[in-house]
Amino acid sequence: MNFDDIVTFHGHACPGLAMGYRASILAIRELTLDHSRDEEVVAVVENKSCAVDAIQMMTGCTFGKGNLIFKDYGKQVYTFMKRPGGEAVRVAVTWSPPQGKKEAVMWKRYMADDRSQNVLEAVKILKAAKRKAILAAKEGELFTFKKMVIPLPAKARIYPSINCSACNEKVMEPKAVIINNSVYCKPCAAQ
């Protein structure tokens, strides 16, 4: 699979996608991973950035199969594990893009929700330059990584669905909330 395949899935080329692509390549090489058809590979991602789409495509880890695990730490860290032995590699992004004063000003304006034509054009150029730099960089410039053997998470389980007493929508049994002997989904239980 190449970067263009990942872009087609994601919808656009961006720095985050490039970073996830490069992190996946490192993990695939270090753990000699094959594309996960079931749960042979597990990926734990510590953010919900564009990088996760690349990791999903490159490794075959998905939320639906239960082998893509999201931990909302806001960190650019990705841990890849191989079943059955628990061999793993933890990949942490260390790269910082070079940035001049003009670029910093434009990025700050964009982050403050300035969507004027000149800001959008500047950010588009900045993102393209970052993406190209990430794809061309040496691994050691982008990441630190550590190989280890760790306990694997349990394989995904399929649970029965039950109906919420309020909205009548199905909810996975272990996620249901029981109030006064009635079953509720979390949103209805919170009302």
Q: Which residues of the chain have a pLDDT value below 70? A: none
> Do residues 51 and 20 make contact, with C-beta atoms less than 8 angstroms apart?
yes
The predicted structure's pLDDT at residue 103: 82
Q: Give 78's DSSP letter.
A: E
pTM of the model: 0.86
The predicted structure's pLDDT at residue 66: 93
Q: For residues 34 and 99, what is the distance between their CA atoms, to the nearest angstrom?
A: 37
Q: Give 40's DSSP letter.
A: S
The predicted structure's pLDDT at residue 10: 97
Domain 3-95+137-149: state its class: alpha beta
The predicted structure's pLDDT at residue 145: 98
Residue 170, CA distances (Å) to 63, 166, 177, 185, 186 in order: 19, 11, 12, 8, 11
The predicted structure's pLDDT at residue 131: 95
**Domain chopping of the chain, boundaries:** 3-95+137-149, 158-191
Burial class (CB in 10 A: 0-12, 13-18, 19+), 82: buried
The predicted structure's pLDDT at residue 9: 96
What pLDDT digit, counting tens, does each position of 22-74 carry? 999 999 999 999 999 999 999 999 999 999 999 999 999 999 999 999 999 99
Q: For residues 174 and 186, what is the distance between their CA atoms, to the nearest angstrom?
A: 11
> Do residues 107 and 123 make contact, with C-beta atoms less than 8 angstroms apart?
yes
The predicted structure's pLDDT at residue 107: 86
- Judged by DSSP in three states, 103 sits in helix
Residue 162, CA distances (Å) to 17, 30, 158, 178, 187 in order: 38, 43, 13, 12, 15
Q: Cα-atom radius of gyration of the chain, to the nearest Å?
A: 20
Q: For residues 41 and 113, what is the distance between their CA atoms, to the nearest angstrom?
A: 39
Question: Which CATH architecture fits 158-191?
Answer: 2-Layer Sandwich (3.30)
The angle, 0 to 180 degrees and rounded to 10, between the axes of the packed helices 15-31 and 3-10 is 130
- Among the listed residues 69, 70, 89, 93, the one whose alpha carbon sits nearest the alpha carbon of residue 81: 89
> Do residues 68 and 45 make contact, with C-beta atoms less than 8 angstroms apart?
yes
The predicted structure's pLDDT at residue 104: 85
- Cβ neighbours of residue 115 under 8 Å, at least 6 residues apart? none
